[in-house]
Amino acid sequence: MERPVDHTDADPDGGFLPWAAAMDRALYGPEGFFRRPTGPGAHFRTSVHASPLFGTAVLRLLREVDAALGHPDRLSLVDIGAGHAELLTGVLGQLGDDPLSRRLRPIAVELADRPAGLPDAIEWLPRPPKGVSGLIIANEWLDNVPCDVVELGRNGPRLVEVAPDGSERLADEPNDSQQAWLEHWWPTWRMGRIGDRAEIGLLRDAAWARAVEALDEGVAVAIDYAHAVDSRPPLGSLTGYAEGRQVPPIPDGRRDLTAHVALDACAAAAEHVADWSRRLDQRTALRRLGITGARPDLATAAADPIGYVRALSRASAAAELTDPAGLGRFTWLVQGVAVPTVSSLED
């Protein structure tokens, strides 16, 4: 996928840049956080790292898409923002020598280099291929697509610029397209108080639209911490993560920088290609795909102690993935192109 923001390395002004450009440099520049060979899994735990059950759910959805497409000769599973392709590797492992594995084209779309030791079957691309038939998954990708930050200052709305040490200053007014986005998608912000902030999702909208445009036929799913137009956070949500801890958002290349995603705006940006669209929380989505945190019946423990312990550990992994105070609160944006609706994700 194209780099979302152009930036120069010139540093005439203490290195201050608008947030989107600073984020782009800190995450994806030559010394950027996501260029490190350790991969994102060394710093935070996504649903993919939490349990193989997440891959089980994706595989179930993939089978459903496969059936809806009439079992094409080549079925793609495209993971955008794949990290170290842990999801694809897990799905391939679960498939084993299932006949679907002979038709499957697993594709990791990643800006970082391909890690050593991946199965040969996994293609590694910098942007989604054209003409995809199958399923596109983007787990915790869009929150890492850079966004600009605006703040209500004494003289009205101003773009926030940030230096590599994290110090900030208010700069220009947002441009026309930024203003239009804010008016439509973050309307409460203008009525807020001095110091209130909003995060402009234009680059995320464009990135998601390009992802859905890659589909000839199939389903695209974006999974992220999200907010909707009636519940935007008044101070924004930009933050940092390093070594498993939440840290201040400083664009120094040593931490993840992330902000929750206006997935309603992303959905609208892909409406010109999507035939249908829905949003649901991860707890509901995973339950519908057969992942529940229900504990096994204690009465089975005596007859089958190993089976009982396995079922208990599966239930506890499922509980983490569906926890309404944690990963279960993520939003799934699901959009379909030239495919009937996916029944397991229907209301």
Ligand X SMILES: C[S@@+](CC[C@H](N)C(=O)[O-])C[C@H]1O[C@@H](n2cnc3c(N)ncnc32)[C@H](O)[C@@H]1O
- Range in contact with ligand X (rule: CB under 6 A) among 17-25, 81-89, 179-187, 229-237: 81-89
Q: How remote is the C-alpha of 294 from its chain's centroid?
A: 27
Beta 75-80 vs 132-139: how paired, if at all? parallel
Q: Return d(Cα 327, Cα 342) in angstroms, integer.
A: 22
Judged by CB under 6 A, the residue of 51, 56, 133, 144 near ligand X is 144
Binding of residue 112 to ligand X (CB under 6 A): yes
Binding of residue 208 to ligand X (CB under 6 A): no
Binding of residue 270 to ligand X (CB under 6 A): no
Binding of residue 59 to ligand X (CB under 6 A): no
Binding of residue 331 to ligand X (CB under 6 A): no
Of 68 and 207, nearer to ligand X (C-beta) is 207
Q: What is the 3-state secondary structure (H, E, C) of the chain?
A: CCCCCCCCCCCCCCCCEEHHHHHHHHHHCCCCHHHCCCCHHHCCCCHHHHCCHHHHHHHHHHHHHHHHCCCCCCEEEEEECCCCCHHHHHHHHHHCCCCHHHHEEEEEECCCCCCCCCCCCCEEECCCCCCEEEEEEEECCHHHCCCEEEEEECCEEEEEEECCCCCEEECCCCCHHHHHHHHHHCHHHHHCCCCCEEEECHHHHHHHHHHHHCEEEEEEEEEECECCCCCCCCCCCCEEEECCEEECCCCCCCCEEECCECHHHHHHHCCCCCCEEEEEEHHHHHHHCCCCCCCCCHHHCCCCHHHHHHHHHHHHHHHHHHCCCCHHHCEEEEEEECCCCCHHHCC
Binding of residue 1 to ligand X (CB under 6 A): yes
- Site pattern 17..36 for ligand X (x: CB under 6 A): -----------------x--
Of 157 and 240, nearer to ligand X (C-beta) is 240
- Residues 319 and 293: beta-carbon distance below 8 Å: yes
Of 106 and 157, nearer to ligand X (C-beta) is 106
Binding of residue 257 to ligand X (CB under 6 A): no
Judged by CB under 6 A, the residue of 24, 140, 161, 217 near ligand X is 140
Binding of residue 48 to ligand X (CB under 6 A): yes
Q: Return d(Cα 159, Cα 198) in angstroms, integer.
A: 10
Of 145 and 265, nearer to ligand X (C-beta) is 145
Judged by CB under 6 A, the residue of 17, 25, 26, 46 near ligand X is 46
Binding of residue 212 to ligand X (CB under 6 A): no
Binding of residue 240 to ligand X (CB under 6 A): no
Binding of residue 332 to ligand X (CB under 6 A): no
For ligand X, how many residues bind (rule: CB under 6 A)? Answer: 18
Binding of residue 241 to ligand X (CB under 6 A): no
- Range in contact with ligand X (rule: CB under 6 A) among 11-19, 113-121, 138-146, 282-290: 138-146
Beta 123-125 vs 331-337: how paired, if at all? unpaired
Residue 33: CB minimum distance to ligand X, A: 8
Judged by CB under 6 A, the residue of 18, 55, 83, 251 near ligand X is 83
Judged by CB under 6 A, the residue of 89, 139, 322, 335 near ligand X is 139
- Range in contact with ligand X (rule: CB under 6 A) among 109-117, 272-280, 303-311, 314-322: 109-117
Judged by the rule CB under 6 A, the positions of this chain that interact with ligand X are 1, 34, 40, 46, 48, 80-83, 109-112, 139-141, 144-145
